[in-house]
Amino acid sequence: MDTDQRKYYSISEVAEMLDLKSHVLRFWESEFSQLRPRKNSAGNRAYTERDIKTAQLIKSLLYDEKYTIEGARLRLKTNRGLIDDQLELPLVGKDDREEKMQAELLRIRRDLEGLINRVKGL
């Protein structure tokens, strides 16, 4: 995904990038003050790269780290650097996510194999 070419993205494009439904993004806008995409003259949401990365961070907190909405909201409020840290990371699209999951599964497998070997050595 080449984000340098464009300045704004529609909610449907962002939903596809993050593998979410548009209504989830709209709900998050109502729950997280950090996620406030601008609206264009037609009233459509116009997401910037910062908005996309904020949504990506919220998704990670909720889906990967298993925070509740309230817990994720508190985490973002108490650690404002999280969003700035997220901006340093590249955007992850659907294709990248699959590679990331494969790498994570391989890491878990290596960890489990290491534990098995340690237990056998006892």
pLDDT tens sequence across 75-91 = 888 876 666 666 655 55
Asked if pLDDT for residue 30 goes beyond 90, the answer is yes
Asked if pLDDT for residue 31 goes beyond 50, the answer is yes
> In the CATH scheme, what is the code of domain 1-91?
1.10.1660.10
When pLDDT is averaged across residues 29-40 and rounded to a whole number, the result is: 92
Return d(Cα 66, Cα 46) in angstroms, integer. Answer: 28
Return d(Cα 59, Cα 118) in angstroms, integer. Answer: 35
Radius of gyration of the chain (CA): 18
Alpha carbon of residue 84 to chain centroid: 13
Gap between the terminal Cα atoms of the chain: 49
**Average pLDDT value for the chain:** 83
Helix axes 22-31, 49-59, angle to 10 degrees: 90
pTM of the predicted model, to two decimals? Answer: 0.64
CB atoms within 10 A of CB 62: 17
Alpha carbon separation from 20 to 15, 28, 44, 94, 122 (Å, rounded)? 5, 11, 18, 11, 46
| Confidence band, pLDDT 50/70/90 cuts, at residue 1 | very low
Q: What is the pLDDT of residue 93?
A: 55
Task: Tell me what percent of the residues of the chain surpass a pLDDT of 70.
Answer: 78
- The residue behind tokens 């593998």 is 19
Asked if pLDDT for residue 96 goes beyond 80, the answer is no
